[in-house]
Structure 1
Amino acid sequence: MDYVIEMLNIRKEFPGIVANDNITLQLKKGEIHALLGENGAGKSTLMNVLFGLYQPEQGEIKVKGKKVHITNPNVANELGIGMVHQHFMLVESFTITENIVLGIEPKKGLTIDMKKAEKEVQAISDRYGLRVDATAKISDISVGMQQRVEILKTLYRGAEMLIFDEPTAVLTPQEINELTQIFRTLIKEGKSIILITHKLKEIIEVCDRVTVIRKGVGIDTVDVEGTTPNELASLMVGREVLFNTKKTPAQPKETVLDIAKLNVKDSRGVMSVKDLDLTVRAGEIVGIAGVDGNGQSELIEAITGLKKSSSGSIKLNGKELSSLKPRKITESGVGHIPQDRHKHGLVLDFSIGDNMLLQTYYQSPYSKRSMLNNREINKQAKKLIAEFDVRTPSEWTEARALSGGNQQKAIIGREVDRNPDVLIAAQPTRGLDVGAIEFIHQRLIDQRDKGKAVLLLSFELDEIINVSDRIAVIYEGSIVAIVDPKETTEQELGLLMAGSKRKEAGEDTHV
């Protein structure tokens, strides 16, 4: 069998942890090969070894049958290996072309020939159906388009083997469909793809083979055609996984969060939330369904105090929140799991233990007369790490050293532990594996069953339908429908999210 990449018996260690323990992965030419594992299983580490960001302690790598030493990403690029990272590495103030040619700019005499670069970038974009505007600025394009820029960066550098690290974690359902088509085009053009993922639906839909790793150990490599999502889930987490969340019918009581006639501008000064009405009651989960960019982020930022509203009212248990600062809103009884865990959820250079006390470190028993009580902080951090299954060598480990899923579990542990009256959960399972998703969904339902209100924002329609008790559909900054998850489908939600009206006339959205 001819393989374009062979990673044979790879071992990678970090202080106190073996991230990859004797793992073998072999990529055939023209295949999409999934690398499947839980958060923290060692997937990204293994691919960072292949891309030259880490050096393995043991094992060897072969490219097209020849043993190679990949000492840094430039060597990987020269060997035809490109990597699209989960967190994009783009300069926001640069254009698409400037980002793509950065470091290898074409020259005309002593100056950069940007016109030539733009033509080359546009030609590659057209060839692979990426549909980007080579002259647009990164700050002005969507997350999905930014990912296409990352793909173009690898293709511009001549990549034949592409590694995608959790590529759909930040995409809308429509963008995921478009990315799937891009994958197929790349394969037709003779490329080979390694797809790091924990989304079983994606593997079944686009992949040829899948290598499963669990806690740093290679479990098996199987043909996708002969397996099922349940079998893959069991291989990944080592037990049977429930795909449908178990919950009793909601018993909603009094209104906790009451939003009326809310208007919020985005960062460009455009009104992105328009006369929005919504209520969330104690003992229910209200899900917000919508295509990204329809005002969801601005709505959440207004509720949590990260952005000032232009007009309207946001009340928690009858008390107006819109004039309060974020800490006062938090202390009033609002919990917030932010959709960008790095920007708004964590201080990456702090320990994971300190991050888990970010909302309460200044309160007793963690602080007295402005002095931190490190013993109490560490004790609480250890308790939350155990309770929320945050996989970390210790509470002293820097937050940036943890996998994305474990970072997310730390944030959720911090917010849920405070037992807020309303929990704002924005993309709470983004980047999590099926086992962790099951765990988080149950935690949200537990909050509901304690009589708390939960507002869930997610771009995963199956999550919205599975977890919510009511679904509010947002379109162009307004709630256009409230639907019962038991009486709707992904297709109907998709149409409503695109601006179609429901058949029932005169539906009241402020309920």
Structure 2
Amino acid sequence: MVHQHFMLVHNFTVAENIVLGTEPKKGISIDMKTAVENVRKLSEKYGFAIDPHAVIEDISVGQQQKVEILKALYRGADILILDEPTAVLTPQEIEELGKIIHNLKKEGKSVILITHKLKEVMSMSDRVTIIRRGKVTGTVKTKETNIDELAELMVGRKVNLVVDKKEASIKGDVLTIEDLCANDHRGIEAVKGLSLTVRGGEILGIAGVDGNGQSEFLEVLTGLRKPTKGKVLLNGKDIYGKSPREIIDSGVGHIPEDRHKRGLILKYSLFENSILGIHRNKPFSKGIVMDYKAIKEHCDKLIKEFDVRTPNNEVFASALSGGNQQKLIAAREISKDPELLIAAQPTRGLDVGAIEYIHGRLVDERDKGKAVLLVSLELDEVLSLSDRIAVMYDGNVVAVLDREDANEQKLGVLMAGGSLSDVKEGAGSDEQ
């Protein structure tokens, strides 16, 4: 099995990782020369261009995935299970993975692809089994179905997969960031002189391969991580280095990337979760006493308006499905009427029905004139929702594109560290 989060030893070489636990021996010592040769032959057999001597931490995520696949093949696997294999890949790496799967099939291997990305299901599979709420709802041949039919099988109703939005009515700058720097938990610089503006009435999408400083950047914006340098202004007001409380009060809403860790208290009721961050505000608080009647009325209003499926407002947040948990978080943050709404991986782990709903609410906020900062690893999501797209690589924004100038090919090159001039040259040569 190739896990979504790779199981590799980062300071080992490619060859050392592949043969780990099954190392060839020369007497009582490990025969690394034979190990390297075996790995080289296996790589050539399956068309993997990979250096057996390369250290894992020095190679790309796409190359690391190849190492995981080679690990399984080295052990004689005939069935490979790939769990969300494209979650952290660029479009170019996804295309290459498709070729790898095709070659594995030609070698007689069976591949089980676990994914929620319907486009990749259509391009990489021969048959599709759909699971909803732990039960199989159907198995179809890929060539006899389409994305709309698969979405309906997943949700149980027709789903509009196209994001409908009118032309943006852009207002002034709401968020202004200049030369922002911040360290990660190890003290190593993760955000490196980032500058960016987000305007009212637009969705600015941030695209990038996971691990390029997006999480640290968001933590700085929401007061969860202290920056080391730079300027952050919200409608001209300085919020650089402010606490989460001060930033919320300044007009920032935050749909966090980890709804369990940062979005909800799972052992709290829905009505308690519905006022997190605003529990001291009127009408929910009267001095040091909470007004539970007002809180429950507020929660019931959100449940109705955002279609949160629950028997009542007193159940624990842990009892809700992922989609309904995300709806509750979105309801709470949008109800604060923020000037800036930060949506980080807002549809991670959701079915297409919940995705459709969350997308609609983000567009609604944009149409109200709010500034929306969308950070997502899903390129389709970024391209569907954004009015402008900023690409993050190695802790900085390397390019900002208007939506009409962006496509998967351009974004993929930028996400891998290429330059905008390189992309333009490549695009030009394609058109000749």
**Common topology (TM > 0.5):** yes
How far 1:142 sits from its partner (Å)? 6.8
* Residue from 248, 251, 276 that aligns with 2:166: 248
Kindly tell me: are residues 117 and 443 of structure 1, through their superposed partners in 2, closer, same or farther at Cα, counting changes over 3 Å? Answer: farther
Counterpart of 1:192 in structure 2 is 110
Q: Cα RMSD (Å) of the superposition?
A: 4.4
Map residues 96-111 of structure 1 onto 2, 5 A cutoff: none
Cα contact 2:56–2:64 (8 A) shared by 1: no
How far 1:338 sits from its partner (Å)? 2.9
- Please give the secondary structure, in 2, of the residue aligned with 1:339: coil
Counterpart of 2:85 in structure 1 is 167
Counterpart of 1:236 in structure 2 is 154
Matching of residue 330 in structure 1 with residue 248 in structure 2: yes
Aligned partner letter, 1:350: K
Q: Which moved more, 1:302-311 or 1:438-447?
A: 302-311
Aligned partner letter, 2:332: R
Can you list the C-alpha shifts for 1:142-180, whole angstroms capped at 9, x where unaligned? 766676676567557654333334333344434433433
Can you list the C-alpha shifts for 1:42-68, whole angstroms capped at 9, x where unaligned? xxxxxxxxxxxxxxxxxxxxxxxxxxx
How far 1:454 sits from its partner (Å)? 0.4
Matching of residue 433 in structure 1 with residue 351 in structure 2: yes
Counterpart of 1:44 in structure 2 is none
Counterpart of 1:350 in structure 2 is 267
Cα distance in 2 for partners of 1:90, 1:386 equals: 46
Aligned partner letter, 1:310: T
- Please give the secondary structure, in 2, of the residue aligned with 1:486: helix
Counterpart of 1:499 in structure 2 is 419
How far 1:219 sits from its partner (Å)? 3.3
Map residues 68-467 of structure 1 onto 2, 5 A cutoff: 83-86=1-4, 126=43, 129=48, 131=50, 159-267=77-185, 269-346=187-264, 350-351=267-268, 353=270, 355-361=273-279, 363=281, 384=302, 387-389=305-307, 396-397=315-316, 399=318, 404-467=322-385
Cα distance in 2 for partners of 1:151, 1:392 equals: 42
Identity of aligned residues (%): 55
Q: How many residues align?
A: 416
Kindly tell me: are residues 489 and 168 of structure 1, through their superposed partners in 2, closer, same or farther at Cα, counting changes over 3 Å? Answer: closer
Counterpart of 2:429 in structure 1 is none
Counterpart of 1:485 in structure 2 is 403
Cα distance in 1 for partners of 2:402, 2:135 equals: 43
Cα distance in 2 for partners of 1:465, 1:96 equals: 35
Structure with the largest fraction of helix? 2
Cα contact 1:367–1:373 (8 A) shared by 2: yes
Kindly tell me: are residues 215 and 296 of structure 1, through their superposed partners in 2, closer, same or farther at Cα, counting changes over 3 Å? Answer: closer
Counterpart of 2:428 in structure 1 is none
How far 1:295 sits from its partner (Å)? 3.6
Aligned partner letter, 1:279: T
Cα distance in 2 for partners of 1:112, 1:364 equals: 71
Unaligned segments of structure 2, at least 5 residues: 426-432
- Please give the secondary structure, in 1, of the residue aligned with 2:204: strand
Cα contact 2:172–2:200 (8 A) shared by 1: yes
Unaligned segments of structure 1, at least 5 residues: 1-82, 505-511
Aligned partner letter, 1:261: D
Aligned partner letter, 2:201: G
Cα distance in 2 for partners of 1:346, 1:96 equals: 40
Aligned partner letter, 1:305: G
Cα contact 1:213–1:220 (8 A) shared by 2: yes
Cα contact 1:130–1:182 (8 A) shared by 2: no
TM-score by length of 2: 0.76
Cα contact 2:92–2:409 (8 A) shared by 1: no
Q: Which moved more, 1:362-371 or 1:114-123?
A: 114-123
How far 1:248 sits from its partner (Å)? 1.4
Kindly tell me: are residues 496 and 151 of structure 1, through their superposed partners in 2, closer, same or farther at Cα, counting changes over 3 Å? Answer: closer
Cα contact 2:204–2:373 (8 A) shared by 1: yes
Kindly tell me: are residues 101 and 476 of structure 1, through their superposed partners in 2, closer, same or farther at Cα, counting changes over 3 Å? Answer: closer
Structure with the largest fraction of strand? 1
Cα contact 2:180–2:227 (8 A) shared by 1: yes
TM-score by length of 1: 0.66
- Please give the secondary structure, in 2, of the residue aligned with 1:440: helix
Can you list the C-alpha shifts for 1:68-110, whole angstroms capped at 9, x where unaligned? xxxxxxxxxxxxxxx55556678999999999899x78899xx
Cα contact 2:203–2:388 (8 A) shared by 1: yes
How far 1:264 sits from its partner (Å)? 3.0
Kindly tell me: are residues 332 and 158 of structure 1, through their superposed partners in 2, closer, same or farther at Cα, counting changes over 3 Å? Answer: farther
Cα distance in 1 for partners of 2:30, 2:295 equals: 56
How far 1:397 sits from its partner (Å)? 4.7
